[in-house]
Structure 1
Amino acid sequence: MKGAPHPATAGTAPERMPSAVLFSCSFNSVRSPMAEALMKYLYGHMVYVDSVGVRKQEIDPFVVEVLDEIGISVEKHKAKTFDDLEDTSFDLVVTLTPEAQHRALEMTRTMSIEVEYWPTPDPTAVSGSREQMLEAYRQVRDRLMAKIKERFGPLAPAKV
């Protein structure tokens, strides 16, 4: 959003900003693409960001909707797996599900890549009205946004 103030705020004792971050979950259809989109929105001018799943599935329409609510588009997202990665030179892999954590540790066993586990609820497990389901996705979105800001800290100005 041009002209609008950037939504990131100072985090608490952020660590060094990695040059490349990979987010991973079970299907690359809800949590990891949401985290990828949020990270790109906040820090995309500073770091390369991608996402994968242990398996792949089309992006969940509720993800598209709750990200669109805050001005972020994920319509170009193409689901992929760890095996689909063309390059594995990430500084940090953030896993959002136990299954992705296991796969990331397996993949990085012989590499010098930091792996962090951020347990993240599965909004697809929520049933009820459409609004109740959307609220579960919003909660995951907001939780991931807060965790990303906390982990990566205040924004540096974009280079012009």
Structure 2
Amino acid sequence: MSGERTKRRVLFLCTGNSARSQMAEGWLRALGGDAYEVASAGTHPSSVHPLAIEVMRERGIDLSAHRSKSVEDFADAEFDLVITVCDVARDSCPLFPGKRGLHWNLTDPAAVEGDESTRLEIFRQVSDEIERRVRDLIAREGKVYPAS
């Protein structure tokens, strides 16, 4: 049918839209190819964390042009799936009526204290967990990975 939307629209939500939701957006864009239209936002947006950019660059995904966005920017948007990646976002985000929602309570790597190598390792672990969950999501939805 002409005019029928074929891409699945997915929104990732967290508090600052600085790390977890940005990495999730990057992973789904990279792995989901043309099957998905992806966005991310925060309940209290800040800026994209430099270690999130670095870790994703290590994995071949460029977040350097990403910016933090407010969930309010998407108030009138239609999504097929809304995924919260922290408890704060789950508890405080607006409802998207009639839309399927998932909750992934992921460690906030930006909140971890320690030297840079310790913090970088936590960012890597969270990125790996997000990649696993995104691959599982795509597999459950029957979407294929793009050829590498």
- Structure 2 length normalisation: TM-score? 0.86
- The Cα RMSD (Å) is 2.0
Distance (whole Å) between structure 1 residues aligned to residue 99 and residue 54 of structure 2: 33
Is 1:81 the equivalent of 2:70?
yes
1:147 pairs, out of 118, 133, 141, with 133
Q: 1:92 aligns with which of 77, 81, 98?
A: 81
Structure 2 counterparts to residues 95-106 of structure 1, below 5 A: 95-104=84-93, 106=94
Superposed counterparts of 1:6-155, under 5 Å: 19-85=8-74, 87-104=76-93, 106-108=94-96, 111-153=97-139, 155=143
Q: Distance in 2 between matches of 1:157 and 1:150?
A: 11
For structure 2, the 5+ residue unaligned runs are 1-5
Please state whether the residue corresponding to 2:123 is helix, strand or coil.
Answer: helix
- Report if the CA contact (8 A) 1:18-1:91 is conserved: no
Q: Which residue of 2 aligns with 1:156?
A: 144
SS in 2 for 1:50: strand
AA paired with 2:113?
S
Gaps of 5+ in 1: 1-16
Residues 86, 107 of structure 1: CA spacing in aligned structure 2 closer, same or farther, 3 A cutoff?
A: closer
Q: Which has the higher helix share?
A: 2
SS of the equivalent of 1:22 reads: strand
| 1:155 CA drift (Å) | 4.8
Distance 2:70 2:123 in 1: 22
Shift of 1:31: 0.6
- Are 1:21 and 1:49, in contact at CA under 8 Å, matched by a contact in 2? yes
Deviation at 1:76, TM superposition (A): 1.2
Identity, in percent, stands at: 31
Instruction: Report the secondary structure of 1:56's partner residue.
Output: coil
- Following superposition, the deviation at residue 157 of structure 1 comes to 6.2
Question: SS where residue 12 of structure 2 aligns?
Answer: strand
Q: 1:158 to 1:149 in 2, by over 3 A?
A: closer
For 1:48, what is the secondary structure of its paired residue? strand
Larger relative contact order (Cα-Cα within 8 Å, sequence gap ≥ 6): 1
Please give the secondary structure, in 2, of the residue aligned with 1:99.
helix
